C-alpha cells in the first residue's frame, strides 16, 4: 500500500481542528450511508463529553445518534450483534480505560466471530475512543491502550496524529467491514491543520503518512507525538535532517514505508505514548530489525511512557508523559 507523503496531498482543503475533522467524518458518513449510526454515553443530546459528536444529534435525530445507558459491556455487545446482522454502528467508548468493563465483548465476540464462524459474518463496527494523559485526569482516564487492541487478533487499530488523518481514518474505519478501533488522543482535539474537503477522501487502513521528509534519522511517531516530533524536527533543521512518519494505522501496520525510510536514514526512533514494555514500540522495532537490520547505523531508541500509570499531579504527569523533548534527546543520542 502506498504511503501518503507531503507531496501528494489533496488540493481542496479547509483548516480545522482534529475534533472538527472527526465530527465532519461522522457527519459525512451518516449522510452517505443510512446503516451508519452512532451510539455511546452522552453522545447525543449532550454532544459527547469531549464534544466530538457536537450537533449531530440535532441534525440526525436520536435514532441515529443514540445515547446509551452506562453499560459498556451491554452496548459493545449490542454493537457487535448489530454489526453482525447488517448495520454499521459507530460506538464512542468515552475513555479507553473503560475498555476493561467491555473487554469480553471486544475480545471474544467482536474479534472472534468472523473467524470462528468460518468467515460467515461481517463485523462493520467502529469503536472511537480517547486515549492519553496531559489533562490531569489521573490514572483511570488517561490510559493509552491501543497496544492491547492492536495485539489482539481480529481487531484493527488506527490512531490519527493530524486533523487530516483524523478525518481520513475515521471514514476508513466506518467504511471497513472489519472491526476498527479509532484511538483519539484527547490532547490533540484542538490541534489545527488542513483537511481535505472531498467526501470520498479516506486514509486507507494500513498506509502510513510521511509527514516530513529527512535524511539522517527516522522518527516514527503517533498521535500527539507526531506534532511534537515535527516541531522538534523544525528546531533541529540545518543540524539534523529528521524524517517523521506517522504510521496512523497500528494494525495493519505499513511496515514497508517505515523500513524504506530506515534504509535511507539508518537510524530509528519510535515515539508512542503507550507504556514502553511489550507493546507498540516493540512491534515496530521488531519489524525493522527483521527487515532492515543491516541498514541500521545505531541502536533503535524508544520514547514512551515508562511503564507507569498516569499520575494526577501536573508535575508527576509531565514527568512520565513522553514529549518532543524526549524525541530530541533520543535524536541527540543517535547523531
Partner 1 sequence: MADFDLESAEGRLEALRRMVTIRAFDEEAGDRFADGEIPGFVHLYIGEEAVGVGTCAALESDDYIASTHRGHGHCIAKGLDPKLMMAELYGKADGYCNGKGGSMHIADVDAGMLGANGIVGAGPPLATGAALTIDYQDRDQVAVSFCGDGAVAQGQVHEAINLAATWDLPAVFVVENNGYGEATPLDKQHNVENLSDTAQAYDIPGLTVDGMDVTAVAEAVAEARARARAGDGPTFIEAKTYRYRGHYEGDEEPYRDADEIERWKDRDPIESFKRRLIDRGELTEDEFDDLQAEVDAIIEEACAYAEEAPAPSPAEAYDDMFVDTPPEIERFAEAARTQTDGGRAGYGSGDDTDGDHRGD
Catalytic residue numbers, as ranges: 72, 141
Residues near partner 1 (CB under 8 A), total: 56
Q: What does the per-residue mask of binding to partner 1 show for 80-99, with x meaning CB under 8 A?
A: xxxxxxxx-x----------
Q: Is 177 in the site for partner 1 (CB under 8 A)?
A: yes
The correct pick among 8, 11, 63, 200 for binding partner 1 (CB under 8 A) is 63
Contact segment (CB under 8 A) with partner 1 among 18-26, 136-144, 171-179, 192-200 equals 171-179
DSSP assignment of 13-70:
EEEEEHHHHHHHHHHHHHHH-TTEEEEETT-STT--TTSSSTTHHHHH-TTTEEE--S
State in angstroms the smallest separation of the CB of 310 from partner 1: 27
- CB under 8 Å to 4, separation ≥6 — which residues? 203, 207, 208, 209, 210
Closest among 94, 248, 275 to 180, alpha carbons compared: 248
The correct pick among 4, 53, 68, 96 for binding partner 1 (CB under 8 A) is 68
Tell me the sheet residues that pair with 39: 66, 91
CA distances from 40 to 55, 72, 142, 168 (A): 15, 9, 19, 21
State in angstroms the smallest separation of the CB of 261 from partner 1: 13
Contact segment (CB under 8 A) with partner 1 among 15-23, 40-48, 213-221, 287-295 equals 287-295
Rounded Cα distance, 320 and 20, in Å: 29
Which residues of this protein are in contact with partner 1, per CB under 8 A?
Answer: 35, 37, 63, 68-69, 71, 73-87, 89, 104-105, 108-109, 113-122, 153-154, 156, 176-178, 206, 251-253, 255, 263, 286-287, 290-295
Amino acid at each position: 500500500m502506498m504511503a501518503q507523503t507531503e507531496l501528494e496531498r489533496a488540493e481542496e482543503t479547509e483548516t480545522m481542528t482534529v475534533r472538527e475533522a472527526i465530527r465532519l467524518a461522522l457527519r459525512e458518513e451518516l449522510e452517505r450511508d443510512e446503516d451508519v449510526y452512532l451510539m455511546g454515553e452522552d453522545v447525543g443530546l449532550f454532544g459527547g463529553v469531549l464534544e466530538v459528536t457536537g450537533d449531530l444529534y440535532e441534525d440526525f435525530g436520536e435514532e441515529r445518534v443514540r445515547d446509551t445507558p452506562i453499560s459498556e459491556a451491554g452496548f459493545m455487545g449490542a454493537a457487535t450483534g448489530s454489526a453482525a446482522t447488517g448495520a454499521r454502528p459507530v460506538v464512542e467508548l468515552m475513555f479507553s480505560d473503560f475498555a476493561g468493563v467491555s473487554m469480553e465483548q471486544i475480545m471474544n465476540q467482536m474479534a472472534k466471530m468472523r473467524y470462528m464462524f468460518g468467515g460467515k459474518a461481517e463485523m462493520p463496527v467502529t469503536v472511537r475512543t480517547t486515549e492519553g494523559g496531559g489533562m490531569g485526569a489521573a490514572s483511570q482516564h488517561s490510559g493509552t491502550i491501543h497496544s492491547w487492541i492492536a495485539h489482539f487478533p481480529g481487531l484493527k487499530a488506527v490512531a490519527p496524529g493530524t486533523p487530516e488523518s483524523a478525518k481520513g481514518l475515521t471514514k476508513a474505519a466506518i467504511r471497513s467491514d472489519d472491526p476498527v478501533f479509532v484511538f483519539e488522543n484527547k490532547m490533540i482535539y484542538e490541534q489545527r491543520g488542513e483537511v481535505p474537503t472531498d467526501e470520498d477522501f479516506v486514509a486507507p487502513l494500513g498506509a502510513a503518512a510521511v509527514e516530513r521528509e529527512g535524511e539522517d534519522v527516522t522518527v516514527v511517531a503517533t498521535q500527539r507525538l507526531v506534532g511534537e516530533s515535527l516541531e522538534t524536527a523544525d528546531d533541529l533543521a540545518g543540524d539534523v535532517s529528521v524524517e517523521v512518519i506517522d504510521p496512523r494505522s497500528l494494525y495493519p501496520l505499513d511496515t514497508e514505508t517505515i523500513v524504506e525510510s530506515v534504509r535511507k536514514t539508518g537510524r530509528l526512533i519510535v515515539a508512542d505514548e503507550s507504556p514502553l514494555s511489550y507493546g507498540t514500540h516493540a512491534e515496530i522495532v521488531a519489524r525493522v530489525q527483521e527487515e532492515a537490520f543491516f541498514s541500521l547505523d545505531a541502536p533503535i531508541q524508544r520514547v514512551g511512557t515508562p511503564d507507569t500509570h498516569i499520575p494526577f499531579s501536573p508535575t508527576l504527569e509531565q514527568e512520565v508523559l513522553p514529549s518532543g523533548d524526549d524525541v530530541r534527546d533520543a535524536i541527540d543520542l543517535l547523531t
